[in-house]
Structure 1
Amino acid sequence: MNQSSFSPFTEQTLPQWRRAVLKVGSSLLAADGGGLTPRFALGLAQFVSANVLAGREVVIVSSGAVAAGRAILPKAAEAGAAMAARQALAALGQAQLIALWQRFFERPVAQVLLTHDDLRNRRRYLNARATLNELLALGALPVINENDTVSVDELKLGDNDNLAAIVAALVDADALFIATDIDGLYTADPRSHADAQPINEVTALTPEIMAMAGGSGSAVGTGGMHTKLQAAAKAGAAGIDTFLFNGRNSDVVRGLAQGRLHGTRLHAGQSRIAARKYWLKHAPLEAGAILIDAGAARALRDKGASLLPGGVVGAEGEFRRGDMVEVRLFDAQGQQQIARGVSQYSAVDIRRISQHHTREIESILGYNYGDNVVHRDDLVLL
């Protein structure tokens, strides 16, 4: 690893990844005096394009709607403006924010507005994940922001860093890239401590490391380094590494597109698979179970297959879509628990589609949440 002439951080080689979330803060998009500027967004868009051309997938979590709204209605920008005024600015600026990103890409840009409640509620979580996966499959570029016009607490906290970490887990990303306005994590705030030293790698987010994070350094941004470390902790719990870098440094951004990091790598404590399996094994169970036949049980055990409705013989209890439930083999010997997983359908729906082909789901129910009753990624064998 070599020290560069343009960054105090030592060059590191990025690990291989196939899907990533890129979080871009307001400080990289806001123009002086209000509105948005493409000055730094262009380089970040080139990073996205280079990776998409290489066969990878990127989801952008972008702040900047409130800053964009200030240029449209500058009178509403006074410090201490009422929350409703800030929400109005977000509503006005959201279209400007999406237009800014669309100008850099030939592929369609899709706006996705989320609140933290969308991601805490398991059924809405599954709907959001299905939508994002479908957008990526269609070749679109999802640009996610908080739904600031209705999320009072989220807007107040300005917590797109943590939202980006949750989205990274939502889409099963391999990496979380956080573009900020400083070079990475230091032992102290380098803007006020001349002796602050760069930290190239963090293997564990200890209290000492968290104490090194300062506040927000920008008048337009609302998240500081502390929220970025909180985000890294959330991503790490899902087995996802986080990479902090200076999105204003064109050399750093170009290097990132070539697989070179000049910034801080925060290692996850475990693999994504291990984190996912741990959650599946220990998440609280709802009362009830999905009952399957011997053929479906063999497919789950021996082939790592998803559970399809044809192999389901019934459901016990009154669980809902998105609940964690037992999967039990039902035969002449009785019931035997063989797995647990997140059900894509409610117990009521499962009773109606059991022992039917996947192509019949929509004609039976009038809607379709996908071919799987439980997807293999949401299932763990016991």
Structure 2
Amino acid sequence: MERNNWKRIVIKCGSALIAPEKNGCSSHYLLSIAHFILRCREKGIEVVLVSSGSVAAGAHLFAEQERTLPIKKAMAAAGQTEMIATWDKLFDFATAQILLTHADLRDRERYVSVRTTIDKLVESGILPIVNENDTITTDKLKVGDNDNLSAMVAAACDADALIICSDVDGLYDKNPHKHDDAKLLDSITHIDQSIYDMAGGAVSDVGTGGMKTKIQAAEKAVSHGIDTFIINGFTELSFNQLLAGNNPGTHFKPHAAPMNEHQHWMTHTSNAQGELVVDDDFDSALTEEGEELTGASIIEVNGQFNVGDTVLVRKDDGTKLAKAKSNYSSCLLNFIAEQPDKKFADDFQDTTGPILSVKNIAILEKQ
């Protein structure tokens, strides 16, 4: 495999690597990763590190046995400083902390701000260390796992490769911890349900993600044209093989025709705040390039959203068609949809503009 063209990579490290003994941070497994990052930088490859572990790092500081949500948030607050300090002492160059919520990524202006900040850090020779801000996240704000966060970060910073560290060598056709005859999949060119069916639950009891979230992350990354690897992060051999140009785990190959940046953000990062249920005429209009999409075919409006929010467009039978930026609020769209005369929608839009426009639509694979 060709590595010489990598200009920027994102490497994701999980909680089991950070705090394997559940007694604070340990550099035992991190030394190999730090050495890999150093050698990449010596080769002129820019690196962004996505690191889980704040809750696991801070858990030993609390006497409570029951991990309620407030306790976990407190663990994250205390453990984050220990985790960053542990990483920082492994390098002889500057590091920077970036704490994100999903709200930072799904808002277009803040998403661009994240990308700009990462660009400036790596251009200045500083290693960005990214983590979800577990202290302030809520169900509505969280990504939930750093596998998917790493893919969003890789897309945001236009990385060439995403390397996800696991506790196994890669994706197997069955759980290698339970089946001696499990076979490692060397490379994957297409992610479908059969690939997801091979994923079991999380093996580590200190992490939040399992193989399923790693496949989800790979799906996000490869659709943006990003080489993605799941490797064993507990052995230095994995990193040596990557540097030698070999595949130490499972290589998810990028799409030959990746999504453009805005379409990828709309599809994989921006959360739909509501739904527009449309008829078959609207479905046909989606395929007509250059057409402005109107609201005459709207059957129903679900949820509450504002102008500029992302909405899911689907058919009455549940088929998902697209995600799009709405130029109208849900309140106004409900008013339009309730009018008995469909010509009202066309006349209204002639004055105020289209409900959805082509440049702000990401057409989905029908499912």
Matched, 1:252 2:241: no
TM superposition shift of 1:72: 2.3
Matched, 1:275 2:260: yes
The C-alpha deviation readout for 1:134-169, integer Å capped at 9, x for no partner, is 111111000000010011338987410000000000
Matched, 1:126 2:112: yes
Residues 101 and 141 in structure 2, CA contact (< 8 A), matched pair in contact too: no
Q: Where does residue 71 of structure 1 map in the other structure? A: 60
Paired amino acid for 1:19: R
Residues 12 and 164 in structure 2, CA contact (< 8 A), matched pair in contact too: yes
Q: Sort the Cα spacing of 1:188 and 1:42 in 2 relative to 1 into closer, same or farther, 3 A.
A: same
The C-alpha deviation readout for 1:181-208, integer Å capped at 9, x for no partner, is 1110000101011221110000000110
Structure 1 counterpart SS, 2:242:
helix
Q: Where does residue 236 of structure 1 map in the other structure? A: 222
Matched, 1:202 2:191: no
Matched, 1:219 2:205: yes
Q: Find the partner of 1:111 among 89, 97, 105.
A: 97
Q: Where does residue 152 of structure 1 map in the other structure? A: 138
- d(CA) in 1 for partners of 2:35 and 2:233? 12
The C-alpha deviation readout for 1:261-305, integer Å capped at 9, x for no partner, is 210001122355x53386599999xxxxxxxxxxxxxxxxxxxxx
Residues 218 and 228 in structure 2, CA contact (< 8 A), matched pair in contact too: yes
Q: Find the partner of 1:96 among 72, 82, 91.
A: 82
TM superposition shift of 1:27: 1.1
Matched, 1:167 2:156: no
TM superposition shift of 1:259: 2.7
Residues 14 and 261 in structure 1, CA contact (< 8 A), matched pair in contact too: no
TM superposition shift of 1:33: 3.9
Q: Where does residue 37 of structure 1 map in the other structure? A: 26
Pairing 1:14-25 to 2, within 5 Å after superposition: 14=3, 16-25=5-14
Residues 148 and 154 in structure 1, CA contact (< 8 A), matched pair in contact too: no
TM-score (norm 1): 0.67
Q: Sort the Cα spacing of 1:207 and 1:39 in 2 relative to 1 into closer, same or farther, 3 A.
A: same
Residues 162 and 227 in structure 1, CA contact (< 8 A), matched pair in contact too: yes
The C-alpha deviation readout for 1:308-358, integer Å capped at 9, x for no partner, is xxxxxxxxxxx99x99xxxxxxxxxxxxxxxxxxxxxxxxxxxxxxxxxxx
Structure 2 counterpart SS, 1:111:
strand
Q: Where does residue 347 of structure 1 map in the other structure? A: none
Q: Where does residue 320 of structure 2 map in the other structure? A: none
Residues 236 and 270 in structure 1, CA contact (< 8 A), matched pair in contact too: no
Q: Where does residue 249 of structure 2 map in the other structure? A: 263
Coordinate RMSD, CA, aligned: 2.9
Structure 2 counterpart SS, 1:152:
coil
The C-alpha deviation readout for 1:11-57, integer Å capped at 9, x for no partner, is x6657311010000011111314211111111011111101011110
Q: What count of residue pairs does the alignment treat as equivalent? A: 276
Paired amino acid for 2:39: A
TM-score (norm 2): 0.70
Matched, 1:57 2:52: no
The C-alpha deviation readout for 1:57-92, integer Å capped at 9, x for no partner, is 00000001111101222x13x2x4110110000000
Paired amino acid for 1:245: I
Q: Sort the Cα spacing of 1:20 and 1:27 in 2 relative to 1 into closer, same or farther, 3 A.
A: same
Paired amino acid for 1:276: E
Residues 47 and 256 in structure 1, CA contact (< 8 A), matched pair in contact too: no
- d(CA) in 2 for partners of 1:166 and 1:156? 13
Q: Sort the Cα spacing of 1:183 and 1:280 in 2 relative to 1 into closer, same or farther, 3 A.
A: closer
TM superposition shift of 1:234: 0.7
**Sequence identity percentage:** 42
Say which is worse superposed, 31-40 or 122-131, in terms of deviation: 31-40
Structure 2 counterpart SS, 1:260:
coil
TM superposition shift of 1:127: 1.1
- d(CA) in 2 for partners of 1:48 and 1:281? 31
Unaligned 5+ segments in structure 1 are: 1-11, 285-318, 324-377
Say which is worse superposed, 56-65 or 243-252, in terms of deviation: 243-252
Residues 231 and 250 in structure 2, CA contact (< 8 A), matched pair in contact too: yes
- d(CA) in 1 for partners of 2:130 and 2:45? 18
Paired amino acid for 2:179: H
- d(CA) in 1 for partners of 2:267 and 2:54? 38
Q: Sort the Cα spacing of 1:271 and 1:59 in 2 relative to 1 into closer, same or farther, 3 A.
A: farther
Structure 1 counterpart SS, 2:139:
helix
Q: Sort the Cα spacing of 1:277 and 1:90 in 2 relative to 1 into closer, same or farther, 3 A.
A: closer
Structure 1 counterpart SS, 2:131:
strand
- d(CA) in 2 for partners of 1:33 and 1:149? 19
Q: 4+ residue stretches of structure 1 with deviation over 6 A?
A: 154-157, 280-284
Pairing 1:283-294 to 2, within 5 Å after superposition: none
Q: Sort the Cα spacing of 1:138 and 1:211 in 2 relative to 1 into closer, same or farther, 3 A.
A: same
Structure 2 counterpart SS, 1:265:
strand
